[in-house]
Chains A and B, each alone.
Chain A
């Protein structure tokens, strides 16, 4: 089933030590196993794409890796340190950042204030405000800085999610469907931004349903179905894998 693992290893070659590793991650809710024995690793500057049909367990895996859901089994390390039992807030301080699939802005706060909350993790006072504003400029939301976050449309909410994550100045970024639902020009901008972030040394794990996006951006792809690993390897190898075509592309063409 996982015949692509060898080629992926050689593709990764002898690069920097992994930023994130997950070993045997299993997450059960009562009797339901949402994630089963997943292994992965991400190096600085690397983009790991995570695909799979609806309900495959991608978001649950994210929640497990970022500390929002307790692992039933398995182990997670960040830069060599075991973080399996750390709270999400402690992981953020160590350099993990995530976006939420269903965006969740602080609705009573302005766009700038939303990002400021995150900027306070590493900055104080005016420096935090300056940093928050700079991040807004980077994601193209600076003109909305004073607007209440509740009034943003979907595309801008997605950017706000990203802005908040980036304001934490992370080493590792989890993006849960940041691109789906955007119009094509906005998609292009987001793709360019993500590529730029990886080039600056960030490790990125991204979930995305839009195949051509995941295929152009990812260095390595993991395909899940029913919580289990279906295939992994280079984007081209995974896209050509018969199980993937059957399970994923078969019912969810793009």
Chain B
């Protein structure tokens, strides 16, 4: 038996499991070499993996369930596309903006929206925030459908885009690279949060708001910061998604099912884990692909059952199950 005195002092300030993240990144990096013919699936899966990771900064770390992230995705997609399309430019812009500048502006707009939106709703307790997310996404969708300048219900077509370091942005391989960089960014941000004062503040707020307040933490401020980071990353993902889609309608981009799908990936994978949302996105995308071809219409039913099983038996998602197993092993050692 080891005694207390001989135990090494444990550390709290770690980046989390970097090996697991490294292994996942390796798998994602090798995918195009093995499945070069299924690049569409690869790109969309990676984009949604990054979106689930972005969602989780708010939904998992701060514990605020959003069912309106499609709105932020839409802001990224619309802003970038509108600013890159010569015929749709606002009057004060002399020339279309390169997609990276457009994406950056989309992120700024999303952060501003999150600041106002969170500022209004986070002071209220309970499920008000979740309800508001559905409402905001609904309003944005209505605006997009009914406004001439956003292409109404037909949506937008991506114009010719300048090359990035000589790379054609419409090449699926390049898009895969962009999506990979997006996932990498969300993963790095999450690892940094894990180790930071912000990360512990967020977890404290998630677990017990009054307990957090007693320790000098302002829950509203914490949730706002998480929302703004989540919004910026989601808008960036939206811009990349727009390039991948090349044409999009409000009906496909701003719908509730998109928001739900992003949230589910994170929840099923495990929202209290760093890599949970990423793993959830990969698994659900693969299963979704298989179910679609094998079961066709029973697809949704299986989704439903999966959600029930996870919420009842594994409230911390798949990663929560693994962690629980790991702890048991640790005790028996």
Contact = CB atoms under 8 A, between A and B. Distances in A.
B220 to A, nearest CB: 10
A117 B215 contact: yes
A120 B200 contact: yes
B12 A129 contact: yes
B213 A87 contact: yes
B212 interface: yes
A88 B12 contact: no
Interface string B206-220: 111011111111100
Contacts of B203: 106, 108-109, 113, 117
Contact of A100 (B206, B212, B214): B214
Contact of B208 (A104, A132, A148, A168): A104
A164 B197 contact: no
A65 to B, nearest CB: 12
A79 interface: no
A165 B11 CA distance: 20
A143 B203 CA distance: 23
Interface stretch (A4-12, A44-52, A89-97): A89-97
Interface in B166-223: 197, 200-201, 203-204, 206-208, 210-218
B201 A106 contact: no
Contacts of A113: 12, 200, 203
A135 B246 CA distance: 57
Contact of A98 (B11, B13, B197, B214): B214
A126 B9 CA distance: 13
A134 to B, nearest CB: 11
A98 B216 CA distance: 11
A120 B10 contact: no
Interface in A120-137: 120-121, 124-126, 128-129, 132-133
Contacts of B218: 87, 89
Contacts of A146: 10
A100 B197 contact: no
Contact of A92 (B7, B13, B215): B215
B321 to A, nearest CB: 15
Contacts of A249: none
B259 interface: no
B4 interface: yes
Contacts of B7: 143
B312 interface: no
B327 interface: yes
B272 interface: yes
Interface residues of B, number: 26
A77 interface: no
Interface in B1-57: 4, 7, 9-13
Interface in B199-255: 200-201, 203-204, 206-208, 210-218
Nearest to B198: A120
Contact of A125 (B4, B11, B13, B214): B13
Contacts of B13: 116, 125-126, 128-129
Nearest to B216: A92
A110 interface: yes
Given A120-B201, A125-B13, A128-B197, A109 B214 contact: no
Contact of B214 (A66, A107, A112): A66
B273 to A, nearest CB: 11
B207 A97 contact: no
A101 B134 CA distance: 38
Contacts of A105: 211
Given A104-B211, A108-B272, A89 B12 contact: no
A68 B210 contact: yes
The interface centre, meaning the residue of A66, A88, A97, A100 with most chain B CB atoms within 10 A of its CB, is A88
Contact of B211 (A106, A120, A124): A106
A106 B10 contact: no
A145 interface: yes
Contacts of B213: 68, 87-89, 92
The interface centre, meaning the residue of A98, A108, A109, A143 with most chain B CB atoms within 10 A of its CB, is A108
8 contacts: A89-B212, A89-B213, A89-B214, A92-B214, A100-B214, A106-B211, A113-B203, A128-B13
Interface of B: 4, 7, 9-13, 197, 200-201, 203-204, 206-208, 210-218, 272, 327
Given A92-B214, A117-B204, A143-B4, 15 more contacts: A89-B215, A92-B215, A100-B214, A106-B204, A109-B200, A109-B203, A112-B10, A113-B12, A116-B200, A117-B201, A117-B212, A120-B200, A128-B13, A129-B12, A129-B13
